[in-house]
Structure 1
Amino acid sequence: MLKAVRLFCRKTSPNLIRRLRHTDNSSIDNRSPSPSLGRDSTISTVYNFPALSKSPSGLPSVKYAVADANRYETNVTTLDNGLRIASEKFFGDFCTVGVIISGGPRFEGKYTSGVSHFLEKLAFMSTQKYENREQIIDSLHEVNAICDCQTSRDIIIYALSCRTSGLERVIELLSETIFRPKLLPEEIEGAQAAIFNEIDDLKNRRY
């Protein structure tokens, strides 16, 4: 306790220490605070500190940010073949385009469990137009694009982000990846090895 008092004295201004020394503790305890303000008024009177129960004076009133619900309006269009397209206006040099497919573990009842995870790992590999993944990566670099594939319980998402000037190319690449993949044996073996590594990693984790 004595060390704490010394530390407080070293970090406190001399004027405040002098006022605290000459303050009669009994007068603080015996002073009856205002019923409306409570004990904060007593402390504020003795030490000239602003009461925490009052808002500081001289400050502007708080204005809270309001979220604009209509900032990005999504337009859904249904083509003659039943394909639904959701689009949003976006200003800038980059855009994102993706395809959402009804798939995932929910639909694996008639197939081998885990096949959706394999499809995720095999995304953006060799296709009828691109001989290997390296060619796909080179094509993506030309338009500053990145690719991603994710699966959840009931959907599979293929997505690409690129410069707006490369939109046609990434749409073609999406079509190749979804409809014309080669699914070579070595690619399937690589996907299997990646999945086994993920399973081993989960087993070795300690939560």
Structure 2
Amino acid sequence: MQRPPTRSRTAAENDKTEVRRTVLPGGLRVVTERVPHVRSASVGVWVGVGSRDEGRSVAGAAHFLEHLLFKSTPTRSAVDIARAVDAVGGELNAFTAKEHTCYYAHVLDTDLELGLDLVADVVLRGRCAIEDVEVERDVVLEEIAMRDDDPEDTLGDEFLSAMFGEHPVGRPVIGSIDSVSTMSRGQLQSFHQRRYTPERMVVAVAGNVDHDEVVALTRAHFGPRLAAGRDPVAPRGGRGRIPGKPGLRMIHRDSEQSHLLLGVRTPGRHWEHRWALAVLNTALGGGLSSRLFQQIRESRGLAYSVYSTVDSFADGGALSVYAGCLPERFAEVAALTTEVLAEVADNGITAEECRIAQGSLRGALVLGLEDSASRMNRIGRNELNYGEPRALSESLAQIEAVTLEQVNAVAAKLLSRPYGAAVLGPHRGRRSLPKPLRDIG
């Protein structure tokens, strides 16, 4: 017997979520989202410090430090930390990006206090012991080796270097073998003490939690750090045009595939037309019906993987297309990719493509918030980047408000800009590349 259509339990209960914000003395911000229908709590301490805040001599310091702080605190060893989280079936981890670092725990709602205690202990009191530095240095060097073995990861770093050159966002988050090998314990400890201050931090918690309880726990665990007189650090705004112009980076590998990342510079994340850019990106290469996927994979079978993406920073970004294919098909893939971009620059996307892209964005945004960890990521990132947690309904309304004319104006403005690109595969020198790539830079 067919059941009548009903509104899902998750969708109905999502309407009952509540986002609250408190600023504590010292500028520390606490944002929570109460999701009463889950049994979990996700705790994140976001620090507005990433790889772009490093000097060249300490490239990779933010990432190295993220590893190091888990090794020991005054009251816990690395084993103690691991056992504490394993004993409650939780997860404790961290990640570093260009402009921020996040330390997080995912636990049962009844273990909220433990989760916040562990994250705060690591972030505030990680020891940076000299013996730990040497052990973790080898781990980070292994991670660099893993990156070098992964074509897409290597290509991604090389692409941003091609797009932004010597600008800090063009440097790899992970650093280099040289910088990681020579970084001292004193440099890492100084980076920690100078950069990890409350006014740069956001405590974001989502799940079956109470805001007032989270604030009280945060006060208890951050304690003496909450000195009065400091205001939160304002979100990074635009800093003007990034100097120079995009270029071409080539990595020779005797690989079975050729890999391409090709793109153009975009304004930063505060751009007024960022949602129109998101719709354009989705229509170009964000799904199975996207123009690039249909023309390169479905119609011609030239590549298995082809997609587009947007990287957004405070003062700039990039719209890029990735494709991986057999070397003998590389010239055709590169030519077709640039043809599609030129066609969209000249004539825009269709009303149907715009409608589908908006629906895809809305659905992906809502479906991506089905768990407390995703919600914690969203409110923490928004507070750090925009100075407010932002309601889901506001983001959905902004997607809905995008017009076809706005998307096509963005396409005409951005896709006519000079390309930057990174190529990885069995290619030697510019002469071995198809003309659209030879002409870059």
**TM-score grouping bracket, smaller chain normalisation:** 0.5 to 0.7
Q: Retained in 2: the 8 A contact 1:143–1:165?
A: no
- What is the SS of the residue equivalent to 1:129? coil
Contiguous gaps of at least 5 residues in structure 2: 152-258, 260-441
Q: 1:81 aligns with which of 26, 31, 48?
A: 26
Superposition pairs of residues 32-181 of structure 1, within 5 angstroms = 72-91=17-36, 92-109=38-55, 112-130=58-76, 132-181=77-126
Distance in 2 separating the partners of 1:106 and 1:98: 21
- Once the two structures are TM-superposed, the CA of residue 78 in structure 1 deviates from its matched residue by 1.3
Whose Rg is larger? 1
- Once the two structures are TM-superposed, the CA of residue 109 in structure 1 deviates from its matched residue by 2.9
Q: Report Cα offsets for 1:20-57 as digits up to 9, x if no partner.
A: xxxxxxxxxxxxxxxxxxxxxxxxxxxxxxxxxxxxxx
Distance in 2 separating the partners of 1:141 and 1:202: 28
Distance in 2 separating the partners of 1:81 and 1:183: 24
Q: 2:142 aligns with which of 197, 200, 204?
A: 197
Q: Number of residue pairs matched? A: 147
- Once the two structures are TM-superposed, the CA of residue 165 in structure 1 deviates from its matched residue by 1.8
Q: Retained in 1: the 8 A contact 2:66–2:95?
A: yes
- Give the TM-score taking structure 2 as reference length: 0.30
- Once the two structures are TM-superposed, the CA of residue 64 in structure 1 deviates from its matched residue by 11
- Once the two structures are TM-superposed, the CA of residue 111 in structure 1 deviates from its matched residue by 6.2
**One-letter identity of the residue aligned with 1:104:** G
- Once the two structures are TM-superposed, the CA of residue 141 in structure 1 deviates from its matched residue by 2.3
Distance in 2 separating the partners of 1:137 and 1:201: 24
- What is the SS of the residue equivalent to 1:128? coil
| Greater relative contact order structure (CA < 8 Å, 6+ sep) | 2
Task: Name whichever structure is richer in helix by fraction.
Answer: 2
- Give the TM-score taking structure 1 as reference length: 0.61
**One-letter identity of the residue aligned with 2:67:** K
User: Structure 1 137/106 Cα, relative in aligned 2: closer, same or farther at 3 Å?
Assistant: same
- Once the two structures are TM-superposed, the CA of residue 202 in structure 1 deviates from its matched residue by 3.0
Distance in 1 separating the partners of 2:150 and 2:42: 34
User: Structure 1 71/190 Cα, relative in aligned 2: closer, same or farther at 3 Å?
Assistant: farther
- Once the two structures are TM-superposed, the CA of residue 79 in structure 1 deviates from its matched residue by 1.9
- What is the SS of the residue equivalent to 1:96? strand
User: Structure 1 202/161 Cα, relative in aligned 2: closer, same or farther at 3 Å?
Assistant: closer
Which stretches of structure 1, 4 residues or more, deviate above 4 A after TM superposition? 62-65, 67-71
Q: Report Cα offsets for 1:134-175 as digits up to 9, x if no partner.
A: 111111123322101111111110100111222112222222
**One-letter identity of the residue aligned with 2:101:** I
Percent identity reads 25
Distance in 2 separating the partners of 1:180 and 1:133: 13
Q: Retained in 1: the 8 A contact 2:17–2:34?
A: yes
